[in-house]
Amino acid sequence: MPAPIANALTIDVEDYFQVSALAAHFPREQWDAQPCRVERNVDRILDLLARHDARATFFTLGWVAERYPQLVRRIAAGGHEVASHGYAHERASAQTPEVFLADIRLAKAVLEDISGQPVSGYRAPSFSIGAGNPWAHDCIAEAGYRYSSSVYPVRHDHYGMPDAPRFPWRLDNGLVEIPVSTVRWLGRNWPAGGGGWFRLLPYALSRWQIARVNRADRRPAIFYFHPWEVDPEQPRVRAEARARFRHYVNLRRTEGRLARLLADFRWERADVVFRDAA
């Protein structure tokens, strides 16, 4: 019997006050005044991964790495991949090419200096690379990254590139784009790679979707979540209803669901799972 497919588990390392949907309540100039919870939440995740003998890729903000360098070193010491989420959690689509390139270069330098390892992967905040800013992939390649996981081939009100390939592809500049997983159904791509849908919908649906990618498509899935999603005690703000629902729904269930996910599938680092692609 063949070994189960190794899927790629990814964590976007940012704190609750850095989420794009809550940006109006946490201006960047006030970030240092907020009570940080990212370190304790990542440590909980590292313990969870260790219990299930799973490895993951941590797309980490340079801003977080500078303030918690020992956290980055613990990620690396656990056998996980340290990758880049940019420095200041600015959407790629909201920046000029020059500013974007400076941000991702700075993040790479900070993460490599702290971890002592090469950083080959990048993920744009809020999957903010799409049809409107194709230049971003050239910047990522120019900054020295080997792969990006910044495209979500779905329709969404804040991001998405529904016509993009569902599986890794190589751009003309040599960069490999590894899109977050989707399931093709009724002529449309449906989110299958985590985030708010994982918290909102029954766990059985996520399990079915990942199994479908493995069995029907015969491909590894790539799944993502955030440290703040395992933290139901985080400070809450009175955001507008949609943002509040998306951010806070089912936080108390996330850690238990992740434990089931880790038990039901085999999980590895993105750079290992997609080594041949990248």
Whole-number Å distance between alpha carbons of 183 and 213: 7
What's the pTM value of the predicted model, to 2 decimals?
0.95
> Could you tell me what percent of the chain has a pLDDT over 90?
80
16: nearest Cα among 87, 89, 100:
89
pLDDT (tens digit per residue) in 81-117: 999 999 999 999 999 999 999 999 999 999 999 999 9
What topology does CATH give the domain 6-273? TIM Barrel (3.20.20)
Q: How far is CA 149 from CA 19, 30, 142, 171, in A?
A: 18, 29, 16, 13
- What's phi and psi for 167, nearest 5 deg? -125, 165
Residue 228 has pLDDT above 90, yes or no: yes
pLDDT digits (tens, 9 = 90+) for 39-62: 999 999 999 999 999 999 999 999
